[in-house]
Structure 1
Amino acid sequence: MVSPLLSLPAAIAADGLEVAAHYGSPLPEQRALESGNAILDLSHRGIITVGGDDRLRWLHSMTSQDLVSLRPGESAETLLLDPNGRIEHAIRIVDDGERAWLLVDEGSAGPLAEFLLRMRFAMRVEVNDVSDQYAAMLAFDGGTAVPVLRAADSVIEWHDPWAAVQRGGTQYAIGEHPGSAWSATQSVLPRSVLPRLAGRIVNGDTQAAGLLALDALEIRAWRPSLTGDADDRAIPNEFDWLRTAVHLNKGCYRGQETVAKVHNIGHPPRRLALLHLDGAAGELPISGALVYRSGESGEEKPRPVGRITRAARHYEWGGIALALLKRALPADALLEVRGGETGADPDSRTGETIAASQEAIVPTDAGATRDLPKLKRL
């Protein structure tokens, strides 16, 4: 479903999506988005509603966040995990008193709705995929964008909780968090009003920003994304996602054993890190590009220590990227990235070698929070 905002002047579509990657000025769009003076089109993502008296208790029983006490208008983030603790769906949830609105990434609404319908049993719930009726738009607080969205018949707003550790959560990152000023809001609008919203942007009431702008701001704020950063082995502990999406003291849910075991007595097998990229090469690594310790990429069979999940050119910080690295890799190790290498065919590497330094998001010693006594051996 092609977004009406894709008809705005200079709009360039994102690869494989029917929304804009940018509108001709990616770096100024970042500034406008961060200052609250631009709207980001997320109409390619999915929206599910869950009605019925048992909706919050039911969702609480299956996902990682405490949702039983969620008040009308209050926003939360939760994860649906598989039995081994791997992330299947990232869910942004807000309840309006009658229905819970679930905002999910592209390609997730259909499979998630199908799963939820199978899990109803005798619960008083009603699940509907309303992605063809409603669309999400994102804006930051403090500028012209949020008022324009509210005036466009916004149905509900989801306020991203990433700015602070949520009740029942914890943070692996040490020191001041770069996401502490994060103020993103997603507004749900009827799709019928999107042409009128595009008209207000053309008239100069606010601006538009593309997905490239959001990528850059999320990377700098260490904000994980399911479609951007996770793979089929990802667990929440690897992304410091326990700060907003996991309640460590709630009752049992699918995948809880893995999350609790890694947090209490183990360590995440991988850790998310921010990479500051050398700009001399003038290019950014592609998603999936392999990461090596500095000086090893020229060896006959170098061993990768991780992979790039997302990379962007930030308007202040230049080239930056998120990478999933081996946990044991020292946090001060200098790294190299092959710009066009994804690991599918190591003999067909392309692109320049890009030097990189780390900024730890998940420390090497994350986890093992319980000091268990050692048992005497016979």
Structure 2
Amino acid sequence: MNVGTEDVGTEAAAYRSPLLSRPGAVEGEGPDAGVAAHYGNPVREQRLLAEGLAVVDLSHRGVVTVTGPDRLSWLHSITSQQLTGLAPQDSREALVLSPKGHVEHDLHLVDDGTTTWITTEPGTQAALAGWLDSMRFMLRVEVADVTADWAVLGEPSGSESRPGEPLAWRDPWPGLVGDTAAYGPVEGHPAQDRRWREVLVPRAQLAAAVGDRDLAGTCASEALRVAAWRPRLGFETDHRTIAHEVDLLRTAVHLHKGCYRGQETIARVHNLGRPPRRLVFLHLDGSGHTLPDRGSAVSLDGRQVGFLTSVARHHEDGPIGLALVKRNTPVDATLDVAGVSAAQEVVVAP
């Protein structure tokens, strides 16, 4: 069930958003196929999005619901996050881990008092719903893949939900959620003022929910995500990623809760050692006209030390990226990414 970069989005490949009919829309590729990469002016769209004046079509994301009186205690018992007692409208991020502690699913989760809503990476919803359904046993829970009926829009937002607002998952990144730990900086984190949410809307009302607001493509949202050092399932994770490597403990892992699958690895690495790889932020040389491909080798002195997980062109910082590198890679070294030089910033400390 491990989800690697090459797997995310395969189930969603046939989807095509109705918003692709908007003027200037250019469809995305790979995991973001089916929605617009941009609408003709990605730099302007990125600025509007950063200012809170645009919305992003994320309707290719999956949506899974869990209902029943045992839903929160049950999800608490099988994922990495503290979920018991979650109040209506409160959001959490939780991981499904393999028995060896590798990240398999990243759940963006919000409860409305009767239903727990989970948004997932495109194409992963069926696998998640299937695994959840297999874990129900005799508990009073029901799992449903409702992607056909519900869609997601992404947008900057205020820090607090207000009465009358639509149901939405509010991204906790980069705050420390509950009893957890950060593997990167806390003070001075580049995303410390970031506010982002995923709004759930009936799929039949997707266009109406956008209304006359400006649309930004995933090129814009991805550039802002990379600048925030925000890991994404299937991009910053592969089949052997543990949460420590990409700093996901800070938002998605509670360190002192009951036993769940993969907990032993979480505890052992946190208490006894450091992860074998670490996430870095890259400032790429912008003298060329093209960006390196995601997945390109990251090298130091002719030797591969990692790979490029995400790449974007930021409206202020120019070409930027995230990469997973070996833990012992010197933090002050200039790296090579497919022939492009890159200065690094520490996201996860060695």
Instruction: Give the structure-2-normalised TM-score.
Output: 0.91
1:86-144 per-residue CA deviation (whole Å, 9 max, x = no partner) reads: 011000111001010011111111001011111110000011110000001011026xx
Q: SS state of the match for residue 250, structure 1?
A: coil
Q: 2:172 aligns with which of 132, 155, 161?
A: 161
Distance 1:197 1:124 in 2: 33
Distance 1:250 1:197 in 2: 39
Q: Name 1:99's counterpart in structure 2.
A: 115
8 A Cα contact 1:86 1:232, kept in partner: yes
Deviation of residue 173 (structure 1)? 1.2
Q: Name 1:2's counterpart in structure 2.
A: 16
Q: Name 1:328's counterpart in structure 2.
A: 328
Q: Name 1:220's counterpart in structure 2.
A: 227
1:296-336 per-residue CA deviation (whole Å, 9 max, x = no partner) reads: 33xxxxx2011000100100101110000000111111111
Distance 1:322 1:35 in 2: 23
Distance 1:104 1:265 in 2: 32
Distance 1:227 1:334 in 2: 26
Deviation of residue 283 (structure 1)? 2.1
Deviation of residue 6 (structure 1)? 0.9
8 A Cα contact 2:174 2:250, kept in partner: no
2:306 equivalent to 1:306:
yes
Distance 1:112 1:249 in 2: 25
Distance 2:34 2:110 in 1: 26
2:218 equivalent to 1:211:
yes
1:58-86 per-residue CA deviation (whole Å, 9 max, x = no partner) reads: 00001000001211110000000000000
Q: SS state of the match for residue 194, structure 1?
A: helix
CA RMSD of aligned residues (A): 1.5
Q: 2:285 aligns with which of 278, 281, 285?
A: 278
Q: Name 1:230's counterpart in structure 2.
A: 237
Q: Which amino acid aligns with 2:308?
A: I
2:78 equivalent to 1:62:
yes
Distance 2:110 2:46 in 1: 26
Q: Name 1:32's counterpart in structure 2.
A: 48
Deviation of residue 214 (structure 1)? 1.2
Identify unmatched segments of 5+ residues in structure 1: 298-302, 339-352, 365-378
Q: Name 1:81's counterpart in structure 2.
A: 97
Distance 2:124 2:131 in 1: 11
| Count of aligned positions | 330
Distance 1:5 1:197 in 2: 11
Distance 2:94 2:55 in 1: 24
Q: Which amino acid aligns with 2:188?
A: E
Q: SS state of the match for residue 254, structure 2?
A: coil
Q: Name 1:125's counterpart in structure 2.
A: 141
Q: Which amino acid aligns with 1:253?
A: Y
Distance 2:35 2:344 in 1: 32
Q: Which amino acid aligns with 2:175?
A: A
Deviation of residue 281 (structure 1)? 2.2
**In percent, how many aligned pairs have the same letter?**
47
Q: SS state of the match for residue 237, structure 1?
A: helix
Q: 2:264 aligns with which of 251, 257, 263?
A: 257
Q: Name 1:111's counterpart in structure 2.
A: 127
Distance 2:100 2:29 in 1: 32
Distance 2:22 2:168 in 1: 24
Distance 1:266 1:227 in 2: 25
Q: SS state of the match for residue 92, structure 2?
A: strand
8 A Cα contact 1:10 1:23, kept in partner: yes
8 A Cα contact 1:236 1:242, kept in partner: yes
Larger Rg computed on CA atoms? 1
Q: Which amino acid aligns with 2:316?
A: E
8 A Cα contact 2:180 2:250, kept in partner: yes
8 A Cα contact 1:35 1:141, kept in partner: no
Distance 2:103 2:183 in 1: 18
8 A Cα contact 2:231 2:248, kept in partner: yes
8 A Cα contact 2:175 2:251, kept in partner: yes
Deviation of residue 30 (structure 1)? 1.1
Deviation of residue 227 (structure 1)? 2.4
Distance 2:39 2:86 in 1: 37
Distance 1:356 1:196 in 2: 43
Distance 2:174 2:298 in 1: 29
8 A Cα contact 2:178 2:254, kept in partner: yes
Deviation of residue 27 (structure 1)? 1.2
1:6-36 per-residue CA deviation (whole Å, 9 max, x = no partner) reads: 1111000011421001111111111111111
Superposed structure 1 runs of 4+ greater than 6 Å apart: none
1:182-220 per-residue CA deviation (whole Å, 9 max, x = no partner) reads: 10011100011123245x23xxxx210111111110111
